[in-house]
Amino acid sequence: MHFRTPKGDRLIQLGRDLVVINQLQPYPRFENWEPSIYSTLEVYRQLVHPQEITKLGVRYINHVVVPDETTGQHGSFPMEDYFTIYPQLPGGIAGIHGPFLVRVEVPRPETGHTLQITFGSSPWKQAAESTLLLDLYDIFEPRRQLGVDEVRKHVRMAHRSIESAFEGSITDRLRNMLEPEGPHEFADNP
pLDDT tens, 131-153? 899 999 999 999 888 888 999 99
Listed residue (174, 172, 105, 157) closest to 135, CA to CA: 105
| pLDDT (0 to 100) of residue 89 | 81
| pLDDT (0 to 100) of residue 114 | 98
Percentage of the chain exceeding pLDDT 70: 86
Cβ–Cβ < 8 Å for 73, 127? yes
Q: What is the DSSP code (8-state) at residue 127?
A: T
| Average pLDDT, rounded, for the chain | 87
Residue boundaries of the structural domains of the chain: 1-51, 53-190
* pLDDT-derived band at 188, boundaries 50, 70, 90: very low
* pLDDT-derived band at 126, boundaries 50, 70, 90: low
Say whether pLDDT at 76 is over 70. no
| pLDDT (0 to 100) of residue 157 | 97
Say whether pLDDT at 74 is over 70. no
Cβ–Cβ < 8 Å for 10, 27? no
